[in-house]
């Protein structure tokens, strides 16, 4: 079988500023919440910026971007998704005027991409709320964030007009439920937040996102703006209708964010829940009208599926990406316990496309694994990551089936952490996703030298054959 993808399919890779740039306080940048999370999500954040935080240094993309983008070009990338660090552009977040040095850094990154005909795709906010906004305003819990965010986005939309066409307003909005600090910059500990707080926070993000969609279209009608969710296939653990309904509820928790931003209004299940909990959103007619500026596409990350049971205590816990469920006995897991499920990606593509009938974009997918750097190269590669090749190969075949057999409109695919970077959840370097190995260890040591992995050559072949070489 030949797995040939549509002619204009956008193949590429993805990173986030806080996980790769380093240079956390250079050229006027101030700290973001990530600079206070030395252990990722596994422990509480710290009030001061701890020196041992790997995210402060990342892989020093800030000074290596030319070399790195050249490597992406060698693989034949058509698109490169990266985020802009808000705290480089508005260091505190609530200033009136942007930091020119921050903007000029991204001028260079974008121009470097365009030099190789790589389409830049910008995530406006990827888990990196400026710390000042988090501390002073409690992040997105505050209505004032809308104004700060729209001002920031407007600067980007004007500055990169004609150069950037693909925009994502927020990374994985649905992470708000479980990780309000990372997802929405809320400094108050999650144990002290009520359902009302969380719904109100989501509402502020919805309004901000919709305003930016409107603005983006006004500034340049060729702009395409997507919202993004953490994509999870939730399977009922058994055919017991109790488990099926529990899985449906879990779907609602995740899809709520896409439902509002893709359809332009609150879904009935959420309105009913708010009523049950006596939640009253502080909003206005005008704000609800703004929601009608719906997104052009839905983007999502996909790493794993999980099982849901009404009584989870009956089963072994399944670990996952910012979420938990119960283990699926039919699936193998990654070294970090994430269930490997290529068909889950096809399932999700179908689910989302049927629900919204708008283009989809897979903006993250990949395997976090411990790689071993070899001293001598074999055919130019220094890491034999056949396990990653297998993972990606199997997932991409399911993407092809979704497109060619099921008729899903999928614009492209950006493999996560196309160059090794610091893990979001654990702040480790040793959880690697890249086609390019970066010599940096968990203790911060290493030369930062870049080495090609076996998957580098594999992905290059897949892109140049437009999928034909998938096996």
Point out the residues that are catalytic: 364
Q: For residues 87 and 171, which CB has a smaller minimum distance to ligand BG6 in the complex?
A: 171
| CB-CB contact of 133 with 148 (8 Å) | yes
| CB-CB contact of 249 with 236 (8 Å) | no
Best CA proximity match to 319, nearest among 333, 300, 301: 333
- Select the span of 30-38, 156-164, 376-384, 418-426 touching ligand BG6 (CB under 6 A): 418-426
Task: Examine residue 16 and tell whether it contacts ligand BG6 (CB under 6 A).
Answer: yes
Interaction pattern, residues 27-56, with ligand BG6; x per rule: CB under 6 A: ------------------------------
Q: Which of 323, 365, 423, 455 binds ligand BG6 (CB under 6 A)?
A: 423
Q: Residue number with the shortest CB distance to ligand BG6?
A: 425
- Select the span of 131-139, 265-273, 375-383, 417-425 touching ligand BG6 (CB under 6 A): 417-425
**β-sheet bridge partners, residue 234:** 306
* CA–CA distance, 64 with 83 (Å, rounded to integer): 16
- Select the span of 96-104, 194-202, 423-431, 436-444 touching ligand BG6 (CB under 6 A): 423-431
Task: Examine residue 371 and tell whether it contacts ligand BG6 (CB under 6 A).
Answer: no
Task: Examine residue 173 and tell whether it contacts ligand BG6 (CB under 6 A).
Answer: no
Closest approach, Cβ 258 to ligand BG6, in A, equals 15
Q: Which of 230, 295, 392, 463 binds ligand BG6 (CB under 6 A)?
A: 230
Task: Examine residue 226 and tell whether it contacts ligand BG6 (CB under 6 A).
Answer: no
Total residues interacting with ligand BG6, rule: CB under 6 A: 16
Interaction pattern, residues 141-160, with ligand BG6; x per rule: CB under 6 A: --------------------
- Select the span of 341-349, 404-412, 419-427, 454-462 touching ligand BG6 (CB under 6 A): 419-427
Q: Which of 321, 323, 414, 455 binds ligand BG6 (CB under 6 A)?
A: 321
* CA–CA distance, 311 with 195 (Å, rounded to integer): 22
Q: Which of 416, 435, 458, 459 binds ligand BG6 (CB under 6 A)?
A: 416
Closest approach, Cβ 299 to ligand BG6, in A, equals 11
Closest approach, Cβ 254 to ligand BG6, in A, equals 12
Task: Examine residue 368 and tell whether it contacts ligand BG6 (CB under 6 A).
Answer: yes
Closest approach, Cβ 323 to ligand BG6, in A, equals 10
Q: Which of 364, 371, 385, 398 binds ligand BG6 (CB under 6 A)?
A: 364
Closest approach, Cβ 126 to ligand BG6, in A, equals 6
User: Would you state the torsion angle of the CA atoms of residues 265, 149, 138, 96, taken in this order, to the nearest 10 degrees?
Assistant: -150
Q: Which of 308, 367, 424, 462 binds ligand BG6 (CB under 6 A)?
A: 424
Task: Examine residue 301 and tell whether it contacts ligand BG6 (CB under 6 A).
Answer: yes
Task: Examine residue 83 and tell whether it contacts ligand BG6 (CB under 6 A).
Answer: no
For every residue of the chain, which 3-state class applies, written as one string?
CCCCCCCCCEEEEECCHHHHCCCCCCCCCCCEHHHHCCCCCCCCCCCCCCCCCHHHCCCCHHHHHHHHHHHHHHHCCCEEEEECCHHHHCCCCCCCCCCHHHHHHHHHHHHHHHHCCCEEEEECCCCCCEHHHHHHHCHHHCCHHHHHHHHHHHHHHHHCCCCCCEEECCCCHHHHCCCHHHHHCCCCCHHHCCHHHHHHHHHHHHHHHHHHHHHHHHHCCCCEEEEEEEEEEEEECCCCHHHHHHHHHHHHHHHHHHHHHHHCCCCHHHHHHHHHCCCCCCCCHHHHHHCCCCCCEEEEEEEEEEEECCCHHHCCEEECCCCCEECCCCCCECCCCEECCHHHHHHHHHHHHHHHCCCEEEEECCCCECCCCCCCCECCECECCHHHHHHHHHHHHHHHHHHHCCCCCEEEEEEECCECCCCCCCCCCCCECCCEEECCCCCCCCCCCEEEEHHHHHHHHHHHCCCCCCC
Closest approach, Cβ 230 to ligand BG6, in A, equals 6
Q: For residues 126 and 452, which CB has a smaller minimum distance to ligand BG6 in the complex?
A: 126
Closest approach, Cβ 150 to ligand BG6, in A, equals 23
The CA distances from residue 427 to 19, 77, 261, in Å, are 8, 27, 30
- Select the span of 114-122, 342-350, 422-430, 451-459 touching ligand BG6 (CB under 6 A): 422-430
Closest approach, Cβ 282 to ligand BG6, in A, equals 29
Q: Which of 21, 35, 68, 172 binds ligand BG6 (CB under 6 A)?
A: 172
Give the binding site for ligand BG6 (CB under 6 A).
16, 19, 171-172, 230, 301, 321-322, 364, 368, 416, 423-426, 431
């Amino acid at each position: 079988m030949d797995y040939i993808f549509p002619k204009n399919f956008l193949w590429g890779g993805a990173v986030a500023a806080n996980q790769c740039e380093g240079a956390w306080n250079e050229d006027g940048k101030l700290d973001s919440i990530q600079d206070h999370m030395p252990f990722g999500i596994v422990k509480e954040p710290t009030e001061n910026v701890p020196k041992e935080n790997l995210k402060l240094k990342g892989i020093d993309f800030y000074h290596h971007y030319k070399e790195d983008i050249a490597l992406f070009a060698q693989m034949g990338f058509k698109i490169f998704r990266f985020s802009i660090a808000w705290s480089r552009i508005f260091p505190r977040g609530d200033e009136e005027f942007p930091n020119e040095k921050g903007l000029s850094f991204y001028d260079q990154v974008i121009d470097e991409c365009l030099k190789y005909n790589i389409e830049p795709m910008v995530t406006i906010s990827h888990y990196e709320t400026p710390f000042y906004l988090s501390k002073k305003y409690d992040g997105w819990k505050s209505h004032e964030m809308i104004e700060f965010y729209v001002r920031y986005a407007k600067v980007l939309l004007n500055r990169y007009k004609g150069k950037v066409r693909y925009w994502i307003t927020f990374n994985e909005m649905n992470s708000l439920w479980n990780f309000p600090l990372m997802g929405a910059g809320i400094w108050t500990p999650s144990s002290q937040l009520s359902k009302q707080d969380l719904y109100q926070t989501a509402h502020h993000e919805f309004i901000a996102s919709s305003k930016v969609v409107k603005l983006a279209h006004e500034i340049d009608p060729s702009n395409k703006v997507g919202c993004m969710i953490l994509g999870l296939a939730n399977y009922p653990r058994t055919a017991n209708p109790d488990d099926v309904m529990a899985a449906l509820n879990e779907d609602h928790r995740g899809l709520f964010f896409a439902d509002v931003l893709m359809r332009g209004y609150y879904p009935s299940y959420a309105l009913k829940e708010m009523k049950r909990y006596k939640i009253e959103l502080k909003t206005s007619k005008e704000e609800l009208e703004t929601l009608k500026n719906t997104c052009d596409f839905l983007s999502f990350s996909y790493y794993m599926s999980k099982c849901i049971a009404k009584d989870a205590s009956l089963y072994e816990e399944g670990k996952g990406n910012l979420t938990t469920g119960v283990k699926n006995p039919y699936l193998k897991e990654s070294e970090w316990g994430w269930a490997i499920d290529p068909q889950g990606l096809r399932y999700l593509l179908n689910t989302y496309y049927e629900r919204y009938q708008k283009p989809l974009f897979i903006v993250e997918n990949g395997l976090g694994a411990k790689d071993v750097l070899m001293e001598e190269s074999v055919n130019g590669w220094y890491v034999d990551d056949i396990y990653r090749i297998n993972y990606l190969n199997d997932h991409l075949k399911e993407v092809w089936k979704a497109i060619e057999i099921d008729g899903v409109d999928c614009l492209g695919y950006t493999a996560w952490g196309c160059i090794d970077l610091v893990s979001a959840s654990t702040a480790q370097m040793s959880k690697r996703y890249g086609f390019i190995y970066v010599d940096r260890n968990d203790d911060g040591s290493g030369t930062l030298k870049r080495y090609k992995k076996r998957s580098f050559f594999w992905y290059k072949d897949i892109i140049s054959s437009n999928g034909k070489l998938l096996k």
